[in-house]
Structure 1
Amino acid sequence: MHKDIIDDQVKVGVVTISDTRDYTTDRGGERVQKFLEEQGYEVTREIVKDDIIEIRNIIDQFVYHPSIHAVVTTGGTGIAYRDVSIEAIEPLYDKKIDGFGEIFRYLSYTEDIGSKAILSRATAGVINSSPIFVLPGSVKAVELAMSKLILPELHHCLNELHK
């Protein structure tokens, strides 16, 4: 990728991490896709089980694919036994974007779910010069993250990574 990424067609991989969702019931992943496409992004979407190996395989496919520039995941960020998105993805980070999780939890607390926000382990980082945002699976959480954090900063983030 070159330094003028803001002028390129940006492609985003969207991954839903769930043992129970499919393409007909995945409202969170569908909402991420809609947000991105409304802003002119091209989207490739996948659904994987809550399994560390499966999650890492799809993340690797996306971040090492030459035409995918960023990744957004939904699901598996809570504290339940099957919630393994963080354990699967954070060890792959070249750099962690600490402010994303901090601000996401703050916004979740003030604008959405109150003190339940402490249970969110939403995170973001960089893998192979690709930003990756790891979101909860709820539609409200997706809408909050996409509208307040990801869409306002995605092009800037990509430009910073490729200047």
Structure 2
Amino acid sequence: MHQIDESQQVRVGILTVSDTRTEETDRSGQAIQALLETKKHQIEAYAIVLDELSLIQTTIHEWIEQTNVQAIIINGGTGFSPRDVTYEAVSTMLHKQMDGFGELFRVLSYEEIGAKAMFSRAIAGSINETAVYALPGSTNAVTLALEKLILPTITHFVEELVKR
């Protein structure tokens, strides 16, 4: 049986994608940070970028190449409005996609908000040895994803990515 050390800290980058949020008004980014800290994970990077494909991809690329992040959690820009491009930015960068993440997130969201859950384009996967998650920007959505999907598995995901 595979044993996972759940006490292992994961070094995380939090990226908020928004045309309007500031550090003071970024409730979802603050919620992600607080939830990660309850499990003693370390915040290595934090940024807010406009909902622009190149800015999202540049930040992800820089964090993977220039920081110690093992996981990146992105919130915002996963819907269907013309400005929502997080899904496109992330999906084209992933080396491996975790199909079950988006599916499970939408099932859990459906239990809370009904049919509107299908409008979420939440996605997760890996880029090299970095776990990447993209979530809707609402505080309820990030809380749901962190509590039910990410926190219970992030240590295992990161361990799997560095196996040789």
TM-score range, shorter chain: over 0.9
- Aligned-pair RMSD on alpha carbons? 1.6
Q: Closer, same or farther in 2 for the Cα pair 1:70/1:5, shift >3 Å?
A: farther
Q: CA deviation at 1:49?
A: 0.3
Moved more, 6-15 or 83-92: 6-15
Q: CA deviation at 1:8?
A: 5.6
Task: Give secondary structure in 2 for the equivalent of 1:19.
Answer: coil
* Residue number in structure 1 paired with 2:100: 99
Query: Which runs of no fewer than 5 residues in structure 2 stay unpaired?
Result: none
Preserved CA contact (<8 Å) 1:76 1:82: yes
CA distance in 2, matches of 1:6, 1:109: 29
Task: Give secondary structure in 2 for the equivalent of 1:77.
Answer: coil
* Residue number in structure 1 paired with 2:91: 90
Aligned-residue identity in percent: 44
Query: Which runs of no fewer than 5 residues in structure 1 stay unpaired?
Result: none
Preserved CA contact (<8 Å) 1:18 1:75: yes
Task: Give secondary structure in 2 for the equivalent of 1:64.
Answer: helix
Q: How many residues align?
A: 159
Preserved CA contact (<8 Å) 1:6 1:159: no
Preserved CA contact (<8 Å) 2:11 2:68: yes
**1:28 matched to 2:28:** yes
CA distance in 2, matches of 1:99, 1:155: 17
* Residue number in structure 2 paired with 1:141: 141
Q: CA deviation at 1:63?
A: 1.9
Q: Which has the higher helix share?
A: 1
* Residue number in structure 2 paired with 1:53: 54
Q: CA deviation at 1:118?
A: 0.8
CA distance in 2, matches of 1:8, 1:106: 29
Superimposed CA distance per residue, residues 115-134 of structure 1 (whole angstroms, 9 cap, x where no aligned partner): 00010000001001111010
CA distance in 1, matches of 2:28, 2:8: 26
CA distance in 2, matches of 1:82, 1:46: 18
In the alignment, residue 147 of structure 2 is paired with which amino acid?
A: S
In the alignment, residue 71 of structure 1 is paired with which amino acid?
A: I
Q: Closer, same or farther in 2 for the Cα pair 1:5/1:89, shift >3 Å?
A: farther
Superimposed CA distance per residue, residues 25-54 of structure 1 (whole angstroms, 9 cap, x where no aligned partner): 110111001111111111121100001110
Q: Closer, same or farther in 2 for the Cα pair 1:128/1:12, shift >3 Å?
A: same
Q: TM-score, structure 2 length as denominator?
A: 0.92
In the alignment, residue 116 of structure 1 is paired with which amino acid?
A: K
Preserved CA contact (<8 Å) 1:5 1:158: no
